[in-house]
A and B are shown apart, each in its own frame.
Chain A
């Protein structure tokens, strides 16, 4: 453990403008990176880094960015480093693979400063690194390639396990045709791939007839359906609106 500590002067020398406080800069963080950490702790449940005796208010008043982060979790008086590799499971091996083989490249060390809401991973941001785990997402844009990749991979490799069970077609099933923008009857004699939406209504409203009047969640689900390469979406509100004018079944 002592090997990962360093004098504050060393930090200040390397980072004259660095804003970590003396305590938080006292750890040589680069030694805890995934590529290095296996030399220091080959097989660990957690590493105790340092104690955090301050109150939440005191931490919040700090100018040190790590102290500010620590202020999120008032209960924990010790900062620990965990390994996220144990969260992984192997498709064929089940959850009983030996620890050493848990591999998120090597290890995925993280700090739990929010009490479970999220983890903070120590990430190697040096050039040409092979060890990154979490990527920074664009908050306003979903990478649909990633979503399509998941679906493709699952359909190809988990055929028996994850494929929906078409026992027989559902009589009278209505779906929303996202291309044509209207409710249509599902054919009863062929496999008819559709996506279903699970959501919360949140208060009773009048089921809209026109796509542009649909609630935002339904409009967005239509966008996702098309982006994933599908055409039909099942939403209770839409097919019920059809039922309300008496021309369709409940489905």
Chain B
């Protein structure tokens, strides 16, 4: 289906109304909303200029899953909203109401920064925005989550496994799973038959980071191939996106050093900080001076959990750039992926944000992690499997 949109001369985007009976405003019976104007002074008018990006973000068209790649794969788009018609190609945007000789003559365009359309620049932040925008969209059939964005992923990046980016472009050496994402601001609902370590495994908006640097990682990540081998992203050349058979077990193998931590669901009161209802991940830590302390991190759950099913202990995987030495940034440390044991392997249940507190065991006092605080050492090297 994606090809039909990619190879068309132009894609008409109906971004007004919520059904196909609404029509394209301005074409036949349904008029557009008129621009509000005020005369402020003689010859001085205040006139409304609609924002195409805002209209798209707030349209039913922009909330649906399948329409994302229809707009993304197109090379020229004619967008019909309740206010006006606009045109977006891969270079920029024009609006029906915005007409200035100065622009046309000098090849000026309005910036196209709607995350459902491709940008000329190919920036990493663009990939993040596109995937995050897509993750928030609704699907009638939850199993379509990967099929409905395969075309987008193919156009956007070079290598990916179940939606997790592994290489941005063919011209880069950076190839590794970009495992950092979280459900934000709310946990989602589980989608069956997808790896728990991919953002496609739960519904709802995600914050997705793209970082395929291998350099600072303390583990090796391997993905299960269709023929049953475990290969690093570097050694796999084919993207993979097909949903997995029911109960297919682990698909990710991690070899490295990880932390074991406990989960706390109680609210941690600290002066000047707002307590949050989120569970907390607590990593035990003996500082350089032998002083016992705990690292306390917010856990952003992938799916809603009741206290009854929250495990006591979790496996904590540092995602990027943990150095077992001095912390580099005041108040923050890199994010962790949080895994729960399921039989002989693990399942991802969430991720921490980068905000980190240290609580002294002796005094019970809590403070932000400092620039010179020592990061605890992880456990011995081991190999774990994640479903």
Contacts and interface: CB of A to CB of B under 8 A. Distances in A.
Contacts of A137: 32, 34-35, 84, 96-97
Nearest to A143: B96
B20 A146 contact: no
Interface string B63-100: 01001001100111010000111010111101011111
A122 B46 contact: yes
Contacts of A141: 26
Interface in B193-242: none
Interface string B245-262: 000000000000000000
A8 interface: no
B110 interface: yes
A234 B6 CA distance: 12
A47 interface: no
Nearest to B58: A117
A219 B8 contact: no
A12 to B, nearest CB: 12
A202 B12 CA distance: 17
B332 interface: no
A9 to B, nearest CB: 15
A110 B35 CA distance: 14
B14 A199 contact: yes
B108 interface: yes
Contact of B109 (A91, A105, A224, A225): A91
A243 B120 CA distance: 38
A110 B19 contact: no
A193 to B, nearest CB: 5
Contacts of A119: 48-49, 51
A139 B84 CA distance: 8
Contacts of B54: 116-118
A162 interface: yes
B12 A69 contact: no
A140 B92 contact: no
Given A66-B40, A200-B19, A139 B48 contact: no
Contacts of A3: none
A217 interface: yes
A151 B87 contact: yes
B78 A197 contact: no
B102 A139 contact: no
Contacts of B85: 142, 146-147
Contacts of A24: 40
Contact of B106 (A33, A90, A110): A90
B377 to A, nearest CB: 44
Given A118-B48, A198-B70, A69 B23 contact: no
Contacts of A203: 19
A87 to B, nearest CB: 5
B118 to A, nearest CB: 10
A105 B108 CA distance: 11
B268 interface: no
B31 interface: yes
A104 B102 contact: yes
B103 interface: yes
Given A164-B7, A202-B18, A147 B87 contact: yes
Interface stretch (A54-62, A127-135, A176-184): A127-135
Given A121-B49, A124-B43, A221 B87 contact: no
Contacts of B50: 117-118
A154 interface: yes
Contacts of A140: 26, 31-32
Given A90-B108, A196-B11, A147 B41 contact: no
Nearest to B120: A161
Contact of B6 (A69, A165, A224): A165
A125 B43 contact: yes
Interface in A79-104: 84, 87-92, 94-95, 103-104
B139 to A, nearest CB: 13
B107 interface: yes
B109 to A, nearest CB: 6
A89 B9 contact: no
B271 interface: no
B8 A163 contact: no
Contact of B5 (A124, A173, A196, A251): A196
Interface string A195-236: 111111111010000000001111111011100101000101
Given A30-B41, A196-B12, A217-B24, A91 B92 contact: yes
Nearest to A32: B44
Contact of B100 (A110, A132, A150, A221): A132
A242 interface: no
A33 B43 CA distance: 10
B111 A136 contact: no
Given A89-B110, A217-B17, 16 more contacts: A118-B49, A120-B47, A121-B46, A121-B49, A147-B85, A147-B87, A158-B90, A162-B89, A196-B8, A199-B13, A199-B67, A202-B19, A216-B28, A219-B23, A220-B23, A221-B24
Interface of B: 1, 3-14, 17-24, 26-51, 54, 60-61, 64, 67, 70-71, 74-76, 78, 83-85, 87, 89-92, 94, 96-104, 106-111, 120-121
5 contacts: A89-B109, A119-B51, A135-B99, A163-B75, A202-B20
Interface of A: 11, 14-15, 20, 24, 28-30, 33, 65-66, 69, 84, 87-92, 94-95, 103-105, 110-111, 116-126, 129-130, 132-137, 139-143, 146-147, 150-151, 153-154, 157-158, 161-167, 170, 173, 193-203, 205, 215-221, 223-225, 228, 230, 234, 236-237, 251
5 closest A-B pairs by beta carbon, nearest first, are: A202-B19, A216-B23, A126-B43, A199-B14, A215-B20
